[in-house]
Amino acid sequence: MSLTYKDYVALGNDTVEDWASYWAEGDTNWVSDKCNPCLIKYYQSCLACDQPSTIFVPLCGKTQDMLWLARNGNRVIGVEMVPQPCIDFFSENNIDYCVEKLQGIGDGKVYRSQADGLDITIYNFNFYELTAELLGCQCNRFWDIGALIALNPEQHSKYIQQLMSLLTPDAQGILFTVEFDINQRPDVASPFCVPENRVHEVLSPVASVKLLESIDTPYSWYGHLNLNSMDGKFYFLKRK
Ligand SMILES: C[S@@+](CC[C@H](N)C(=O)[O-])C[C@H]1O[C@@H](n2cnc3c(N)ncnc32)[C@H](O)[C@@H]1O
């Protein structure tokens, strides 16, 4: 019997602890040493502003996209729960940084660049516990690369609600998703399939949604998952 997306949503089983072990074991095939080409391609039309933007990168890992965005004059704020990628991001890119403990918030820390002209802050913290008050601002742009697709599908609405709470009312940004045949993959784990109708279902109440581009993802992303193919989709989102 084939699995419906409703069944799939109920079966997601990645937990917060899994991410720490993926990083510890180097099981991080999503990491790239280059900036995402679609960020470069769509930056001007979707993210650039007359004024420098504050760009939020949820579940940022150590993506090079943060460096590219900062080099283009933006203030960049990421959130990443696992400490190692926060440290690696700054040390591998030879960026001086400082670390502060977030007062009264468990093990939360904040990593800030101290290099001239690069304004990058990574909250080493659970995304769901982040507040605009803690950030000291709301972000007017966002770049979701590997965030929504990393979360159990039953968390989609919670994720969107939390993301919106960190953004200005006129914010806009780009969302990346992947799609594949859910019946080819018996373990329901990250990266999770987020079909186009699901994107509209969870986002339409709060944002306009426009498909920018579909790509065939490289075999290295899906071959080990026993999938025949995996489509990647970039969407432009603008808050309503
Ligand atoms: C698929 S990776 C994507 C990383 C990055 N965006 C990239 O494209 O390279 C997802 C990241 O989210 C982090 N993560 C998962 N759940 C999180 C949460 N609740 N709060 C903060 N980070 C989280 C994981 O540790 C992991 O680094």
**31 domain residue, yes or no:** yes
Range of the domain at 220: 5-72+138-239
Report the nearest atom of ligand 1 relative to the CA of 85.
Answer: 27
Ligand 1 near 30 CB (within 6 A) = yes
Q: Which amino acid is at 184?
A: Q
Structural domain total, the chain:
1
Q: What is the CATH number of the domain that holds 54?
A: 3.40.50.150
Q: Check residue 218 and report its DSSP letter.
A: P
Q: What is the pLDDT along the chain (240 residues), one digit of tens a residue?
A: 788 999 999 887 767 778 999 999 999 999 999 999 999 999 999 999 988 799 999 999 999 999 999 999 999 999 999 999 999 999 999 999 999 998 777 789 999 998 878 999 999 999 999 999 999 999 999 999 999 999 999 999 999 999 999 999 999 999 999 999 999 987 888 999 999 999 999 999 999 999 999 999 999 899 989 999 999 999 999 999
CA of residue 54 to ligand 1 center, whole Å = 19
**199 domain residue, yes or no:** yes
Ligand 1 near 19 CB (within 6 A) = yes
Quote the strand ranges of the chain, DSSP E.
54-57, 75-79, 97-101, 109-113, 119-124, 139-144, 167-179, 207-216, 231-239
